Every structure is written in C-alpha cells, then in structure tokens.
Amino acid sequence: MRSRTLLPLLVLALAAPLSACAASAGDGRPTVVASFYPLEFVTRQIAGDHVRVVDLTAPGVEPHDLELKPRQVGEVADADLVVYESKLQPSVDEAVAQNAKAHSLDVAPLVDLEDRNPHFWLDPLRLSKAAAAIEARLAKAEPSQAHLFAANLKTLQDTLAQVDQQFSAGLRDCERRVFVTSHDAFGYWSRYGLTSEPIAGLSPDAEPSAQHLDQLRSLIEEDHVTTVFSETLASPKMADVLSHDLGVTTAVLDPIEGVAKGSSADYVSIMRANLAALQKANGCRVSP
Ligand SMILES: [Zn+2]
C-alpha cells in the first residue's frame, strides 16, 4: 500500500522542477521580466549574466501607455519572476493578475509612494529599497548564485547612496529652489529641498495655450526662474515658444522612464546629468 501512495508524490516531485524550467532561456538560466527601464536596470546590475532579463518596455517607448503584445503576455506568464510597479502600466497589471500572480514582485507597496506619485525611482534610496526586494527573489530563483547577487546588491546600493549624497550636497547651496517642468514626475526631489512646479495638463507634445503661458509667466517672475525644463522627448516647438515669449532658457530633465535606443547612458549617468542641469538652472554652488 505504501508504494502506491508514494508513487504519485515522486512523480510530482520530479515534475515540479521540469515545469519550472519551461520558462528558462533554454540555457538553464531563469528568466526575469521587468516592466520598464529602472526595474530592468536594477535587476541586471544584481543578476549579471546569471539570469535572462527581458524589459517589456522597448527603448524609446513611453512606459505609461505601454500596450503588451500577445507575445509579451506570454513572456509574463512563462517568466520565473515578473518585476513591476502596480498602477503604472495597466496592461502589465492585467497580465500579472491573469497569468503571473504566483511569480511576480510588485515594488509599489515596498517603496513608500508619496502622494501616489509612481516615479519613485527618481529617489535613489527608494530605488535601493526596490533593489533589495528584487535581490531576495533572484536568490530564491537561482540559489546557487545567491552570494554573487548579494555582493552585486551591495555594490549597487553603494552607488545609489553615492548618487543620493551627490544630490544632497550638490543642491544644498542654490539661489533658487523652484524648478518648472512640464510632466509631474519630479516630486521626489523635494527631499533635496527643491520644489517642482509642473505645468498642469501640459503633455510633453502639447503646444502651450495662452493660459498656460500666463501661468508660466507669473511663476517665472515671482520665483526668478531662469529655465523651463522639458522632457527628453518634448516638442522643440514648445521650447521655442517659451524661450521667445518668456525670455527664459529651456533645458531637458530626464524622468528615466526609458533609455533612448542605442544610448550608452544608464540610470546613474542620467541622474548625474539631471543633477548638473538642476544646478545650472537654479544657480547652485558646485563644489570642486
Ligand atoms: Zn511619468
């Protein structure tokens, strides 16, 4: 009798690792699907070559309005782990709810979102928290590499802490504290004493209305703002109108929602470029 009850258990035990491997790259590595660039960046830094990392949001695509292709819905279902931020990309939320609940990691509840602002990764310390959670799940998926993942996490967290210190020190002594942006993505930099003034309702490609220009004009006069920031892909037409009509400079801040195709920049280099742009616009004393 005993052997009869044991047999199905044995079959189950043998079958489980096989089905877990169905998702792997065919070379034995687990596959991790990241839903957009900052999560992909962090996952790659920790995993090195030991995990196949897939980014659902292609370079140059705006992650907010990502629509998953059927092939990508399949990748979400088959992955060993899906790393995503709920409420940022509805089509990813849907694919996870339908096919990946048991093998997903939602970073939203882990990073202490402020005012429901999803752009937590612009705060390096919040991104560092997400990294720790990702590392724990990677170690579970590939226990033989757990030591390496832990060491890579440490290196990454040191770098992110350094970026945070550079922002703190680099924005300590500024002539102005207000910066004007088109897209409401930069609120997390309030921790460095800056106030972002997004031009409400103005999408990166929209032409500014007379009303928006008026709003900008009074803001710029009151706060002696010298620069209006647009995003990486903002229309040059808007920048032209603004610099002509309001006598201010335009410059670009990158919300790091993705990296342009073919670019060698990464999260860290883009954050440093953002810091330099903020220091220039706000008259911050740059330490040698
Ligand atoms: Zn955004």
Cα 181 to chain centroid distance, Å, stands at: 18
Predicted local confidence at residue 98, as pLDDT = 96
Distance from the alpha carbon of residue 188 to the mean position of ligand 1, in angstroms: 12
Confidence of residue 198 (pLDDT cuts 50, 70, 90): confident
Distance (angstroms) between ligand 1 centre and the Cα of 244 equals: 27
Report the SS3 class of residue 136: helix
Question: At 152, is the pLDDT very low, low, confident or very high (cuts 50, 70, 90)?
Answer: very high
CA of 251 to the centre of ligand 1 (A): 18
pLDDT (average), residues 114-127: 94
Choose between 236 and 124: higher pLDDT: 124
Distance 222 CA to ligand 1 centre (A): 27
Q: pLDDT for 34-85, tens place per residue? A: 999 999 999 999 999 999 999 999 887 778 889 999 999 999 999 999 999 9
What pLDDT is recorded for position 212?
Answer: 73
Q: Which residues of 60-95 are buried (b: 16+ CB within 10 A; e: fewer)?
A: ebebeebebeeebbebbbbbbbbbbbbebbebbbeb
pLDDT at res. 201:
46
What pLDDT, on a 0 to 100 scale, did the predictor assign at position 188? 95
- The share of the chain scoring above pLDDT 90, in percent, equals 59
* pLDDT value, residue 288: 66
Q: What pLDDT, on the 0 to 100 scale, is given for residue 12?
A: 41
Distance 209 CA to ligand 1 centre (A): 22
Q: How far apart are CA 67 and CA 62, in angstroms?
A: 10
The answer, as to whether pTM is greater than 0.95, is no
Nearest Cα to 232, choosing from 217, 252, 259, 250? 252
Mean of pLDDT over the chain: 85
DSSP strands (E only) in the chain: 31-34, 52-55, 81-84, 104-106, 178-181, 195-198, 227-231, 249-253
Residue 216 has pLDDT above 80, yes or no: no
Ligand 1 centroid–CA 184 distance in Å is 7
Please tell me the predicted confidence (pLDDT) of residue 139: 96
Q: How, if at all, do strands 52-55 and 227-231 pair?
A: unpaired
Q: From 7, 80, 88, 69, select the one nearest 43 (Cα to Cα).
A: 80
The pLDDT value given to residue 46: 98
The β-bridge partners of 55 are 34
Gap from CA of 119 to ligand 1 centroid (Å): 6
State in Å: Cα 68 to ligand 1 middle. 18
Lowest mean pLDDT among 73-82, 224-233, 261-270: 224-233
